């Protein structure tokens, strides 16, 4: 019985010390180059990772991205400098791929609209489609920032 109490007490003290060490606001190492930690320095806002889309209403079509299952291509719609829609122009549509994409594409679209960028998660079970969707979306966003329209 004493061993159990000591083990629980030791775990609680160790956990408290670890949590306290992590929340003191001090970090010993910087994040590796290219890694967005999402936090700025003291008194600084988090860095912006979203490109500023030019104002106006327009569409931009991303490039075709080939996957082992077929091609993926998206078109973005922008209004007032915000991404308001992502439309799939091409997507693989054969057999099981159709079922997977019917589930994955609405999720990818919603995440892109919320994120206002191509920084979206991969949909489980639709890795190839997710990656191709992100690539076409990012290229369309980059083209929009450069002022290209389709």
Q: How far is CA 17 from the centre of its chain?
A: 33
Tell me what pLDDT residue 1 has.
Answer: 62
Q: d(Cα 144, Cα 58) in Å, to the nearest integer?
A: 9
Per-residue pLDDT reduced to its tens digit, 26-67: 333 333 333 333 333 344 344 445 558 999 999 999 999 999
Tell me what pLDDT residue 47 has.
Answer: 41
> 121-147: string of b/e by CB count within 10 Å (b at 16+)?
ebbeebebbbebbbbbbbbbbebbeee
Q: Which domains does the chain have, with CATH numbers?
A: 57-145 (3.90.1010.20)
Tell me what pLDDT residue 119 has.
Answer: 97
Binned at pLDDT 50, 70 and 90, residue 149 comes out as confident
């Amino acid at each position: 019985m004493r061993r159990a109490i000591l083990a629980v007490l030791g775990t609680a003290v160790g956990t408290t010390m670890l949590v306290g060490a992590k929340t003191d606001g001090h970090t010993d190492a910087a994040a590796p180059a290219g890694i967005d930690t999402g936090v700025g320095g003291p008194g600084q806002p988090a860095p912006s990772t979203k490109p500023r889309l030019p104002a106006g209403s327009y569409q931009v079509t991303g490039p075709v991205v080939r996957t082992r299952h077929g091609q993926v291509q998206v078109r973005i719609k922008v209004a007032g400098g915000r991404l308001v829609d992502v439309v799939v122009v091409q997507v693989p549509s054969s057999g099981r791929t159709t079922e997977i994409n019917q589930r994955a594409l609405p999720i990818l679209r919603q995440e892109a609209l919320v994120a206002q960028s191509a920084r979206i998660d991969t949909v489980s079970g639709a890795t190839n489609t997710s990656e191709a969707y992100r690539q076409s979306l990012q290229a369309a966003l980059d083209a929009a920032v450069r002022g290209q329209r389709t």
